[in-house]
């Protein structure tokens, strides 16, 4: 199938070619033989349409990313205008293009309360995490402490799919098939109020989990730990919203031992959690921020890693000139991606999408909370902003999760889709993360589709 002929291609040929040639991430190929993938052909705002012309409210924003909504004219215009200038030039060795310069300035300005000072671009979230891992090690080499090589992260963390990120992931299913992973990566308990063996008190839980981090740093030897990585709200792990006091405590612990604090804001960046950045929502300034997804709203792939003044000063003070950044990608600072991002960020600010995410998220949560009472399999509905998860349980008393092998999450997602909303089945949970531009009516379509799904599919 020639790309140029895509519009004229017969839909059935397209489906047959997909079944024959393409592997899809995060699913067993055999599963798709019985349940072929949904092929999305068009989108506007928070609505997408499949190949057969059926439309759905996009309850997932693609994959937590299309924050400004589909088909935005200003973004398309910016992409086209940049393509007409130049699509690409090398970012290596000191050449670049105007959009990457303008976007780096924009990002530093947007992260001023966080004191970010420099940006290194990449192609997506996994790259942004890899960049943070490698440059935090380089930071410690420049600081004369090359033995600081260890990374600590959280149980249930998701930091992408590169071998570095997978080594920090705290979800076993992402790790098992790819072992042995990177040495020197360790996980500590995450503050999950619904599932922890200690307490129902958020403050106490925050203290317990921050102490666990401190103990791990002590155990490893503080002068061997490079950085602690965490998502301000754990997304793929199941929208685990930490207690409000957790991040400030973690900042204190990192400061006590000199460990760098890296906020993986790939999902939480640019408004999704109801604040412009998740760490800002917790009132905490990280040393390094990983950004992707909402940065370019998925129009063109883009990632960015931001470094604060503390980190950058190691390069500024490098009298020996050994601090060359021997890391970067062919498409670092890609001109079209950066032009798209500039247009997206203008929309994020102009339309106050963080505020919108807070308001629409509260409405969606209100719409779904009654499921905790009405459905025998809903243990917990939780979220912040437009990050929401429904935890499916076999037993409400013990909170024992459903057996993911029985496919209930998939059946529920299929039923919701039949009622006009796309939601994401992830093991024992359903996850919701619609575009931040979603309307009240569209929020209600998702809530009603899910209520109907729980009625017919359980
Ligand atoms: N970090 C977090 C917190 C993520 O949620 C993701 C993806 O969902 C990544 C990193 C990886 O991003 P990408 O899939 O763009 O490589």
Spatial distance between the Cα atoms of 230 and 158, rounded to a whole number of angstroms: 9
Helix, strand, coil fractions of the chain, as percent rounded to 5:
45, 20, 35
415 and 456 Cβ atoms separated by less than 8 Å: yes
The answer to whether the CB of 231 is under 6 A from ligand 1 is yes
Instruction: Take residue 159 and report the two structure tokens written for it.
Output: 């930091």
Q: State the span(s) of the chain assigned CATH 3.90.1150.10.
A: 38-68+353-457
Of ligand 1's listed atoms, the one at least distance from the Cα of 235 is 5
Q: Domain 75-350, CATH 3.40.640.10 — does that match?
A: yes
Burial (CB count <10 Å: 0-12, 13-18, 19+), residue 289: buried
> Which regions in the chain score pLDDT beneath 50?
1
Q: How far is the CA of 247 from the centre of ligand 1 (A)?
A: 20
The answer to whether the CB of 387 is under 6 A from ligand 1 is no
Question: Residue 7: its pLDDT value, please?
Answer: 63
Q: What is the DSSP annotation of 383-427?
A: EETTEEEEEEEEETTTTEEP-GGG-HHHHHHHHHHHTTEE-EEET
Look up the ipTM and state it.
Answer: 0.99
245 and 202 Cβ atoms separated by less than 8 Å: yes
| Of the candidates 327, 379, 360, the residue with the CA atom closest to the CA atom of residue 439 | 360
Question: Residue 126: its pLDDT value, please?
Answer: 98
Of ligand 1's listed atoms, the one at least distance from the Cα of 165 is 10
What phi, psi does 213 have (nearest 5°)?
Answer: -65, -45
The answer to whether the CB of 132 is under 6 A from ligand 1 is no
Could you read off the pLDDT of 429-456 as tens digits, one per residue? 999 999 999 999 999 999 999 999 999 9
Spatial distance between the Cα atoms of 126 and 132, rounded to a whole number of angstroms: 10
Beta-bridge partner residues of 262:
229, 288
Could you read off the pLDDT of 91-126 as tens digits, one per residue? 999 999 999 999 999 999 999 999 999 999 999 999
| Of the candidates 19, 12, 3, the residue with the CA atom closest to the CA atom of residue 51 | 12
Give the list of residues 6+ apart from residue 186 with CB closer than 8 angstroms, or none.
Answer: 150, 151, 152, 153, 216, 220
The answer to whether the CB of 171 is under 6 A from ligand 1 is no
Could you read off the pLDDT of 126-178 as tens digits, one per residue? 999 999 999 999 999 999 999 999 999 999 999 999 999 999 999 999 999 99
Q: State the span(s) of the chain assigned CATH 3.40.640.10.
A: 75-350
- The CATH class for the domain spanning 38-68+353-457 reads alpha beta
Question: Residue 31: its pLDDT value, please?
Answer: 84
Question: Residue 1: its pLDDT value, please?
Answer: 44
Q: How far is the CA of 12 from the centre of ligand 1 (A)?
A: 32
Number of H helices and number of E strands within the chain? 17, 16
């Amino acid at each position: 199938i020639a790309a140029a002929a895509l519009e004229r291609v017969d839909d059935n040929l397209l489906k047959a070619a997909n079944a024959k040639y393409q592997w899809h991430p995060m699913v067993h190929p055999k599963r798709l033989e019985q349940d072929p993938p949904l092929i999305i052909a068009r989108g506007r705002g928070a609505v997408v349409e499949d190949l057969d012309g059926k439309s759905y409210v996009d309850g997932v924003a693609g994959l937590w990313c299309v924050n400004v909504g589909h088909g935005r004219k200003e973004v398309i215009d910016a992409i086209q205008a940049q393509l007409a200038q130049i699509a690409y030039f090398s970012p290596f060795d000191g050449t670049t293009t105007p959009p990457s310069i303008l976007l780096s300035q924009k990002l530093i300005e947007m992260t001023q309360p966080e004191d970010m000072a420099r940006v290194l671009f990449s192609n997506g979230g996994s790259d942004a995490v890899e960049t943070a891992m490698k440059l935090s090690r380089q930071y410690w080499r420049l600081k004369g402490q090359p033995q600081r090589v260890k990374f600590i992260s959280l149980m249930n963390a998701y930091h992408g799919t590169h071998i570095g990120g997978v080594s920090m992931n705290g979800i076993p299913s992402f790790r098992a098939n790819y072992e042995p992973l990177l040495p020197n990566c360790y996980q500590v308990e995450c503050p999950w109020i619904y599932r922890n063996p200690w307490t129902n008190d958020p403050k106490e839980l925050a203290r317990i989990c921050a102490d666990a981090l401190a103990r791990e740093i002590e155990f490893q030897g503080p002068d061997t730990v490079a950085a602690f990585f965490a998502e301000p709200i754990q997304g793929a792990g199941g929208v685990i919203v930490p207690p409000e006091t957790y991040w400030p405590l973690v900042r204190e612990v990192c400061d006590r031992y000199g460990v760098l604090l890296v906020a993986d804001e790939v999902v939480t960046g640019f408004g999704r959690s109801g604040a412009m950045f998740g760490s800002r929502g917790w009132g905490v300034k990280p040393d390094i921020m990983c950004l992707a997804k909402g940065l370019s709203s998925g129009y063109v792939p883009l990632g960015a890693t931001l470094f604060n003044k503390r980190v950058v000063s190691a390069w500024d003070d490098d009298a020996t000139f050994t601090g060359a950044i021997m890391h970067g990608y062919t498409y670092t600072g890609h001109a079209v991606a950066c032009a798209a991002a500039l247009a997206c960020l203008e929309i994020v600010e102009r339309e106050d999408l963080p505020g919108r995410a807070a308001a629409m998220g509260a409405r969606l949560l209100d719409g779904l909370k009654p499921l905790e009472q009405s459905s025998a399999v809903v243990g917990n509905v939780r979220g912040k902003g437009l990050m929401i998860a429904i935890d499916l349980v076999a037993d409400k008393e013990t909170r024992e999760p459903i057996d993911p092998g029985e496919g209930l999450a998939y059946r529920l997602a299929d039923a919701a889709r039949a009622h006009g909303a796309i939601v994401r089945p992830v093991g024992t949970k359903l996850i919701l993360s619609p575009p931040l531009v979603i309307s009240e009516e569209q929020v209600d379509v998702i809530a009603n589709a899910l209520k109907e799904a729980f009625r017919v599919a359980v």
